[in-house]
Chain A
Amino acid sequence: MSNDKQALPGHETQSHEMNCINCGRFVGAVSKCPYCGAKVEKRMSLVAVRWAAVLLATIGLFLLYLMAKYREIPVVKLGDVTPTMNFAQIRIEGQAQSDARTFRNGGMGFTVSDGTGVIMVFMSPKQAKDLAASDRVPKAGDKVNFAGGLSVAEDEASVRLISTKDFQITRAPAAAVRLANITDAMVGKSIVIAGKVVDVFPPPANTKRPYALKIQDDSGEQTVNFWQSEYDQIQGKDVLNGAYVRLRVSVDTYQDKIQLKLAAGGDLEILDGPPTEAYSSPGKKAAATYAKKKATAATPARDFSRGRSVQSNSLSVSEVTTALDGKTVRVRGRVDSVKPPQEGTKQPFAVMLKDKDAALRVTYWSAVDEVIPVKPTPGTLFEMEGVVEVYQDTPQLKVKSGYKVKLVDDAPASAPAVDVSRAVPVSSITAANKGETRVVQGTLGVPRALRGGVAYTLTDDSGSIDLVLWESLVPTDVLGALAEGVKVAVSGEVGEYEGQLQLKADRGYSAMVIP
Chain B
Amino acid sequence: MSVFWIALFATLAGTVIASLLACLPGLHIYNVMGALVLAIIALADTQWAIAPEIYLPMMAAMIVGWSMVNTIPAVLLGTPDESAMFTVLPGQKYLMDGRGFEGTMITAVGGLAGAFFLILVVAPFAPRYLPVSQEVLKGHMHWVLWIIITFMLMSEWPKGGNRGPAGWAKFYDAWKTLLAGLATFFLAGLLGFIILTRSPVSHEVAFQNIMPAFVGLFAIPWCLLNIISAADMPKQTVTKSLAVNGDIILRSVWSGSLGGGLAAYFPIVTGGVGGMLAGHATAQRDERIFIMGQGVSKFIYFVGSFILMFVPGLHLTRGGGAWMAKTLYTPSGISDYYLILGSIAVASAVAYLLMEPLTKLTLKFISRYNYRHVSSVALAIIILMVWGITGWIGVFIMAVGTGIGLLPVLFGSRRLNCLGILLFPIACNMSGFGETITGWLGLT
Contacts and interface: CB of A to CB of B under 8 A. Distances in A.
Interface of A: 10-11, 13-15, 18, 26, 28-32, 34, 37, 45-46, 49-50, 53-58, 60-61, 63-65, 67-69, 71, 73-74, 76, 82-90, 124-127, 147, 149-150, 152-155, 162-166, 341, 343-348, 365-367, 370
Nearest to B99: A10
Most buried by B among A67, A88, A370: A88
Contacts of B191: 61, 64
Interface in B312-327: 312-313, 315, 323, 326-327
B403 A150 contact: no
Interface in B374-417: 396-397, 399-400, 402-404, 406-407, 409-412
Interface string B85-97: 0000100110011
Nearest to B331: A367
A68 B92 contact: no
A13 B231 CA distance: 8
Contacts, number: 203
Contact of B333 (A45, A68, A152, A365): A365
Given A11-B96, A26-B93, 9 more contacts: A28-B231, A60-B396, A69-B442, A76-B203, A84-B38, A90-B203, A346-B332, A346-B333, A367-B315
A53 B407 contact: yes
Contacts of A31: 412
B37 interface: yes
B203 to A, nearest CB: 4
B198 A344 contact: no
12 contacts: A26-B93, A26-B96, A28-B92, A30-B412, A37-B163, A53-B407, A85-B203, A153-B327, A154-B329, A162-B197, A165-B444, A365-B330
B41 interface: yes
B439 interface: yes
Question: Which 3 A-B residue pairs are closest in the complex by CB-CB distance?
Answer: A56-B403, A88-B206, A57-B403
B404 A61 contact: yes
B400 A64 contact: yes
Interface in B199-227: 199-200, 203-207, 209-210, 224-225
Contacts of A149: 196
Contacts of B89: 34
B332 A57 contact: no
B231 A14 contact: yes
B190 interface: yes
Contacts of A65: 190, 194, 441
Nearest to A161: B435
Interface of B: 37-38, 41, 89, 92-93, 96-98, 159-160, 162-163, 187, 190-191, 194, 196-200, 203-207, 209-210, 224-225, 228-232, 234, 312-313, 315, 323, 326-335, 396-397, 399-400, 402-404, 406-407, 409-412, 432, 435, 438-439, 441-444
Contacts of B198: 68-69, 71, 73, 89
Given A11-B96, A68-B197, A125 B432 contact: yes
A283 to B, nearest CB: 37
A154 B322 CA distance: 12
Given A68-B197, A73-B198, A345-B333, A29 B229 contact: yes
A163 B435 contact: yes
A53 B411 CA distance: 10
A87 B187 contact: no
A58 B200 CA distance: 18
B164 to A, nearest CB: 10
Given A15-B231, A61-B403, A84-B207, A10 B197 contact: no
A10 B330 contact: no
Contacts of A164: 435
Given A64-B200, A346-B333, A53 B231 contact: no
A163 B443 CA distance: 9
B410 A83 contact: no
Contacts of B409: 29
Contact of B332 (A60, A63, A126, A365): A365
A158 to B, nearest CB: 13
Contacts of B225: 29
B92 A26 contact: yes
Given A83-B207, A127-B435, A163-B438, A46 B334 contact: no
